[in-house]
Every structure is written in C-alpha cells, then in structure tokens.
Structure 1
Amino acid sequence: MKLVFVLLMSVLLLSACSEADTVSKNISKSADSFEVQRRIVFFNGITDKYLLTIEGLCSLGNDDDPRELSVTCKVGPKSYKKHFLGLSDNVSYLVEQTDAVNVDPFHYRIVFRPETIVPDIDLQTSK
C-alpha cells in the first residue's frame, strides 16, 4: 500500500513539472558544469555604457550575497578564473547563452562531484 502511494506521489510530482521547467533546470546544470557558452554583460543603467563583458564557459554564483555576483569561468582543462562583482542601483547585468545546448526534456540531470563528497586529504607522515 505504501509503495503504491509513493509511486502515485512520484507520478504527480513529475507531471507537475513542465517540459520547459525540466529543460531550464538541465541547462542550468550544464552551465554549472562549464558546458554552456555564455556572455555576461555588466552595464550602467543611467549612462547605458557597458562596464564589463565576460565570455566563455561560465557559471554564475548561486549563493552570492545580495548586491554581489560571482562568475567562475573554465579557461583550460583544469584552470578556472573567478570574478567578484558588486551591483548597485544603476549597475545591472545580462547573461546571454551564446550557443544552443542539447538537453533531454524528459529526464532530470543529476551531477555528483566526488571531490565534494570526499574532500582531498593531504597525508603527511613522519619518516
């Protein structure tokens, strides 16, 4: 009986998610895995001047403080750069996805990072 209830609830929850929601979440996960080309433009809303443009395989900070934004970009096989930007009343930003991404609208994508589950351990022993 419990199994039937769990299966019914799972079906209801999955049917509540639209195809667009699933695709959007999967694109966000791809971007956070540095698989999506983006252009991030910071501009002054009063003067209409661009202040900064960042392009590449970039991920936006998910836990940034209000009025701050961090952008992390992959610049090599194991090389990354991280930028911190302050936002103000007249400074805003726009994130543009510059290339199309193939994602599956029928499946969620879950990414496990072993290095976050089991951290690097530096082992030091005496001789």
Structure 2
Amino acid sequence: MKKTTALTLAATAAVATTLGLSGCTTDADTASYNLSQAAEQFEIERRITVTTGFANEVALQVEGRCSVESADSFLAGALEITCKIGPDRYAKHFVVKGDNDIVTIQQTETVDVSVYHHRVLIKPENLLPEFDYEAGEQ
C-alpha cells in the first residue's frame, strides 16, 4: 500500500512538473509575441528585402508599416506583403521565393513593448458581419 501511494505521488509530481514547465514563457517570448502583434496591426516600420542568390542583387525592397505572411493561396512558397500606406489605403505585394533567393525582414525602428501586461485588440468590424438588407414591395 505504501508503494502504491509513493508511485501515485511520484506520478502526480511528474505530471505537475511537466505541465508547469510547458507553460513557462520568457520575457523574450512575450516581447517577441507583442512585437508580432504590433506588426500585424501596422504599428511597426519594416524593411523587406529580397536578394537574388545568382546575381547577388536586390530584386525587391519594400519599406513601411507592413505585415508579412506566408501566402497559402495559389502561390506555394510565396510571401504576401500587405502595407498600410494611408488611413484607409493598403497595398499588397507577393514575393515568390526561388531556390537561391534570400528574404530579410528588418524592423527599422525600436518599439516599446511591455512584458508586464497584455493588450486586447477588439475590432468591431470583425465582430459584426457585413450584410445587405433588401426590402421589396409586397
């Protein structure tokens, strides 16, 4: 009976330790996450540069408040770059990476992101669906 209790306590301690360690995040993880969130909200200035490996020349350079994501649509292995260029104006670029191309994404300004608090972004336009209402004669 004592052996079973000891095994149960050891198993419980192992599970608790595993769960405790898997939930640990460092300040660097938190800051990285906060920077990524700010970039997706077009709050961070970036420079995206595509360099060709064969000619070792800059093929494309985009600067501004840009979001960079993998293009999951029709272009396999492409990058989708969306930049905010005005209050309600956006531009989209696609970069199809070749075998020898190098893409660098640089943050061009420092940004103060706190590791001590979080923020919640609520966009009402994403909560309420856009719908068309038609009223006809009866």
Tell me which interval the TM-score lies in, with the shorter structure as reference length: 0.7 to 0.9
The question of 1:57 aligning with 2:70 is answered no
The question of 1:22 aligning with 2:30 is answered yes
3-state DSSP of counterpart to 1:16: coil
Q: Which ranges in structure 1 are unaligned for 5 or more consecutive residues?
A: 1-7
| CA deviation profile, 1:49-90 (whole Å, cap 9, x unmatched) | 000000000001256364110000001101111111111101
Structure 2 length-normalised TM: 0.75
Give the structure 2 partner of residue 75 of structure 1.
Answer: 85
The separation in 2 between residues aligned to 1:110 and 1:68, in whole angstroms, is: 30
Higher relative contact order (CA 8 A, sep 6+): 1
The separation in 2 between residues aligned to 1:94 and 1:50, in whole angstroms, is: 11
* Structure showing greater Rg: 2
Give the structure 1 partner of residue 127 of structure 2.
Answer: 117
Give the structure 2 partner of residue 102 of structure 1.
Answer: 112
3-state DSSP of counterpart to 1:120: coil
Q: Does structure 2 conserve the Cα–Cα contact (< 8 Å) formed by 1:22 and 1:108?
A: no
Q: How many residues align?
A: 119
Q: How much has 1:21 moved relative to structure 2?
A: 0.3
Q: Which ranges in structure 2 are unaligned for 5 or more consecutive residues?
A: 1-15
Q: CA 1:107–1:14 in structure 2 vs 1: closer, same or farther (change >3 Å)?
A: farther
The separation in 2 between residues aligned to 1:117 and 1:62, in whole angstroms, is: 25
Q: Which moved more, 1:24-33 or 1:98-107?
A: 98-107
Identity percentage of aligned residues: 36
Q: Which moved more, 1:54-63 or 1:33-42?
A: 54-63
Q: CA 1:39–1:85 in structure 2 vs 1: closer, same or farther (change >3 Å)?
A: same
The separation in 2 between residues aligned to 1:109 and 1:91, in whole angstroms, is: 36
Q: Does structure 2 conserve the Cα–Cα contact (< 8 Å) formed by 1:60 and 1:70?
A: yes
